[in-house]
Amino acid sequence: MSELKNKKILLVITGGIAAYKSLELIRLLKKKGSLVKTILSKNAHKFVTPLSVSSLSQEKVYSDLFDPTSEAEMDHISLSRWADIILIAPATANTLSKISNANADDLASTVLLAADKEFFIAPAMNVRMWENKSNKNNVSILKNMGHEFIGPDIGDMACGEYGEGKMTEPPEILKHLEAKFKELKNNNGLKALVTAGPTKEFIDPVRYITNKSSGKQGYEIANLLKRSGFNTTLISGPTQLDSIKGVNTININSAKEMFDAVIENLPVDVAIFSAAVADFKVKDISETKIKNKENYNLSLEKNIDILKHVSNHNSLRPKLVIGFSAETNDIIENSQKKINEKNCDWLIANDVSNQEIGFDSDFNEVSILYKNGEIEKISKDKKSVIANKIVKKIVSNLE
């Protein structure tokens, strides 16, 4: 049975000459047993007709943002909620610009802006348009948002030029969609646990020890695990980040609270410990605010090492345990000692001395140290891109 059987596909057709391929795409999807609803942009009408599209999809064609009949049912919201997957094929340069810049001036762009799921995007445009710096920037924005591009391919174009920009052929697009649904099915039932952010270790009711962790990297990983089909729990220290829809988020303050929450939510299949947990806590927390004195000695004691405890647990140890190593110097050397000491499967090391990456930044640059001694570097990029690469490796490992 095809992975596409009974799957709900919202196909957005925009105004490029490759729009004729969308008719074949609908035919193949229906043949696989998919339910297909379509949105035609204003310019798409110049290449395919609503009658041909509806004949193949056996559904109403949506196109007018101000259709009183349709908007009485809030189509710009309901269409995206109905779909399992949103596919934009062909996606013109103008469409990429609209959705990357939150422009909503027709039904197609309004539905995409209101969507609560990732898009599959099959671009189609002239090679010079595809290579244009502004277009490349739009593509980068959309990839950073977690949307997946299918193509474009290289070949002869309708304009007579040759290069990258051709829309991927419908059978290949179907292969990508089937692979996505297969991944979701394989991961369905798998559990993931992610820790993120800093911890607070109180000195008195108003003062505490903490660090500069923003939690962004852990949140990105949790979001992508959820979108890859994992039942995901995020245990978060204090951050300024919004909660992630579909992720079970548990908010904590101290390392002890994080440890208790982790143990309570085991067993899982994979655990990613990206939180910057304070190594020390105050031995005796004052019940009242400590008055300003010329000298004050603060007595500290070690917090429990959550990563080490879980990695060495006989019954609750996940199949895959991944730690993070935030270092300011000798990054690889210090991290190699940690992976052996803590007994985790992977250790993701990053430099937090650089203000442009790591703590409190949207960017990161990491090295993944594996238990077998291998090291793999992921160059500087958005934390969302880093998370995407890490999650793909997790999925591949568990398979």
The H or E element containing residue 106 is: none
Reading the block at residue 366, the tokens are 């990491």
Length of the chain: 399
- Give the angle 211-213-216 at the CA atoms, nearest 5°: 170
Question: What's 318-374 look like in SS3?
Answer: CCEEEEEEEECCCHHHHHHHHHHHHCCCEEEEEECCCCCCCCCCCEEEEEEEECCCC
Between CA 23 and CA 36 the distance in angstroms is: 12
Residues 6+ apart with CB under 8 A from 140: none
Residue 385 CB neighbours (<10 A): 19
Q: Of these residues, 74, 145, 154, 159, which one is catalytic?
A: 159
Whether the CB-CB separation of 220 and 287 falls below 8 Å is answered with: no
Distance CA 146, CA 244 (A): 14
Residue type at 355 in one-letter notation: Q
Which residue is it, tokens 């004052």? 286
Respond yes or no: is residue 344 known to be catalytic: no
Task: For residue 373, give both structure tokens.
Answer: 């001694």
Question: What are 167's two structure tokens?
Answer: 């829309």
Pair of tokens at residue 99:
């959705």
- Active-site residue set: 159
